[in-house]
Amino acid sequence: MSVIPFDDRDGFIWYDGRLVPWRDAKLHVLNHGLHYASCVFEGERVYNGRVFRLEDHNERLLNSARILGFEVPASMDDLAKATEELISSNKIVDGYVRPIAWRGAEQMGVSAQASKIHLALAAWDWPAYFSPEARAKGIRMHWAKWARPAPNTAPTNAKAAGLYMICTLSKHMAEAEGCDDALMLDWRGRLAEGTGANIFLVINDELHTPTPDCFLNGITRQTVIGLARKRGIKVVERAIMPDELAKATEVFLTGSAAEVTPVGEIIGEIGHYRFTPGTICQMMWEDYDGAVGKKKEVIDYGEEPGLVKAIRRQFGRPSYAEMLQSAVKNRYDVTDTPSLSANGMLTVWHGAQKEEIPVAKIESVSFSPAPEGRSKVDMFAFVNADHGGSQYEPRYMGTMDINDRFFLGTEGLMRGIGISISKLYRTAKLAEEPIDGHLDTVREDPRNLDPAKQDDDPTRPVEKSDFRATG
């Protein structure tokens, strides 16, 4: 972020109904908002010259003020016009807007009901809250000393300045420990949020997030929940204890400033946890960037086996039918587009032969090196015995290149047929990684993987016992 002092900049600030030069936007030292925190604010992101979900932010600002016992001297329309005027005057394309309302200096004391209510809006360029490097590998967090208060001890439903005092203390402490942010518990010892962002845990390919009963139900949080459900990802809002982080394969934060930011590590007395940003982090990141109108970014998750890296690095978003069509075209003469019917039947055409597979019977998906070359992989679906054949009959789904659009969109296919993402990782790794450390001499065929022995731990080493005995 910029190191230019915020009180010494060019531009304009919207202050009590008009634009004033940036350096002239001042207030008296005996201001009630400064002394007693009778102040509410918002944090809004500007993308391509427009505030994302401006109406929701403005509505929350007005509601926060009412919770603190005063009315913002502007209507929803007034706030929208002031924001547009401010962004235009400062020529903001991608930035941040800070509306703020507070009690003035007419009265000094705990009670200040006769004080004038002031309103100001400022805007500045702000490309990212966390550095791209930290965001790509996942930020480091430190457990906070301070806890989110109970709703009967503070106005927790308001975005009130005073509630951020413990956030500043917690973030300063985290930074002193070499971390990017702090993770706060609530007064009951449950997971709450970061110092300015909500938290999500990926557990069993579902999103789990703390119930916002003593902290804000963030606007970005609400957006991400909607995006996840649109993808068919189950979202669970519940009480989460700190030790449940051990069950999570991915963790990320959401907020207007933070956007969608993966967490790589959490340290401190409560527990030490490590995470690797994966498919769901990236999906939510990319979907959110798409929703706000940002260009797609490419994330490098570091050195990993080729197939795993290809899966986790970038996911296209073709339709279900497009993905299946791309797979089958590589091996068969497709005479019709593969499709998923309303009654749950997967229809695939092999030349003139039509095959229908009940999606509910697909137990898992496996990849195997294809004869055409190292970058080519065969894809097989293991079908339950009820569909015919052996207990888990492999059904050939096509051959693809690890760099083509279908393979990069494989995660979407897995979700379409309800396959566990961790199982996808396990089977994909088998196609690239040697068994027992022998590079070329020992390589089991993933088509012999026993689906009954697959579990949801993508980090467990693959063993020979995971495969069916072959003659």
Residue with structure tokens 């069993």?
A: 204
Catalytic status, residue 464: no
CB atoms near residue 1 (< 10 Å): 12
From residue 355, alpha-carbon distances to 87, 290, 349, 394 in Å are 57, 36, 6, 14
Q: Where are the alpha helices (DSSP H) in 278-340?
A: 279-292, 306-313, 320-329
**Helix 76-89 vs helix 54-67: angle between axes, to the nearest 10 degrees?**
120
Catalytic-role residue among 91, 116, 159, 295: 159
DSSP 452: G
Strands of 198-243, DSSP E: 198-203, 206-210, 235-238
Is the distance from CB of 76 to CB of 55 less than 8 angstroms?
yes
Q: What's the rounded Cα separation, in Å, for the pair 330 and 370?
A: 12
Q: What's the rounded Cα separation, in Å, for the pair 141 and 183?
A: 6
Q: What's the rounded Cα separation, in Å, for the pair 169 and 229?
A: 35
| Angle of CA points 453, 455, 456, to nearest 5° | 170
CB atoms near residue 83 (< 10 Å): 22
Q: What's the rounded Cα separation, in Å, for the pair 59 and 165?
A: 23
Extract the tokens encoding 188.
């009951």
Is the distance from CB of 252 to CB of 281 less than 8 angstroms?
yes
Is the distance from CB of 240 to CB of 212 less than 8 angstroms?
no
Q: What's the rounded Cα separation, in Å, for the pair 252 and 134?
A: 12
Burial, 263: exposed, middle or buried (Cβ in 10 Å; 0-12, 13-18, 19+)?
buried
Characterize 64-80 residue by residue with b for buried, 16 or more Cβ atoms within 10 angstroms of its Cβ, and e for exposed.
bbeebebebebeeeebe
Extract the tokens encoding 272.
């030490």
Contacts of 310 (CB under 8 A, 6+ apart): 402, 403, 407, 408
CB atoms near residue 241 (< 10 Å): 11
Extract the tokens encoding 180.
């990017």
* Residue 84: φ, ψ to 5°: -65, -45
Q: What's the rounded Cα separation, in Å, for the pair 421 and 85?
A: 46
Q: What's the rounded Cα separation, in Å, for the pair 39 and 64?
A: 9
Give catalytic residue positions.
159
